[in-house]
Amino acid sequence: NAGVTQTPKFQVLKTGQSMTLQCAQDMNHNSMYWYRQDPGMGLRLIYYSASEGTTDKGEVPNGYNVSRLNKREFSLRLESAAPSQTSVYFCASSEATGVVYEQYFGPGTRLTVT
Amino acid sequence: AQSVTQLGSHVSVSEGALVLLRCNYSSSVPPYLFWYVQYPNQGLQLLLKYTSAATLVKGINGFEAEFKKSETSFHLTKPSAHMSDAAEYFCAVSRGSYIPTFGRGTSLIVHP
């Protein structure tokens, strides 16, 4: 069981470039999430997907789009990267909607936008 | 709305000393509460969770937390710190919505 995997681990982009962060989970979880982590700010939710075929905005969705490709995969796209999007991005999954289960996190993608 | 406040962005202890990391929450309904740990360059992993059963919750690596409704607190403790406990710790609250709100984190520094 790999749990939650993320690719790439590191990425440097120039302002205006686009990229997609990939996330996959092998735990058959319904719900998946994208967070960003910035120093002193904790984790802030970007987008989430309660189940396959649905996505919703979180606290800081501007500048991002997501795709829930299937039950396993949830990708995050930056269409036109900005320096303010320099951050560490975490993908997470949890077991079910409307029921409290802990989240399982991937190892993160460290993104720098110059 | 729910919120979490972690008092102290950094806590420094000596190896073998008591660890106390503070978390206070705000929630209009009985909450579910979590502590996560993040080791350097890794993702978060669950330490323990409170889901309205016993108020004293035991987690991994010798950590425990006590839910105190009257104080709206869920502080994390460990009797004796180890060098390997050095990490970032996050408190989170959920109240029926499955999406938790995270605190800003507390960095635990352990001195030899």
pLDDT per residue over A49-88, tens digit each? 988 889 999 999 999 999 998 999 999 999 999 999 999 9
Count Cβ atoms below 10 Å from residue B28 Cβ, excluding itself. 9
Say which DSSP state A83 is in.
G
The minimal CB distance from A100 to the residues B41, B46, B51 is found for B51
Do A106 and B43 contact (CB within 8 A), yes or no?
Answer: yes
Q: Give the whole-angstrom CA distance, residue A12 versus residue B111.
A: 34
pLDDT at position A96, please?
62
> Stretch B14-39: mean pLDDT, rounded?
91
Q: How many CB pairs under 8 A join A and B?
A: 52
Mean pLDDT (whole number) for B50-68: 90
- pLDDT for A51 equals 87
Is the predicted pLDDT of residue A47 greater than 60, yes or no?
A: yes
Q: Is B25 on the interface with A (CB under 8 A)?
A: no
Q: What tokens does B84 get?
A: 């390997």
Mean pLDDT of B8-28: 93
Q: Is A6 exposed, middle or buried (0-12, 13-18, 19+ CB in 10 A)?
A: buried
Is B3 in the A-facing interface, judged by CB distances under 8 Å?
A: no
Neighboring chain A residues of B37 at a CB cutoff of 8 Å: none
- Sorting pLDDT into bands at 50, 70 and 90, what band is B97? low
Of A48, A50, A90, the CB nearest to B43: A90
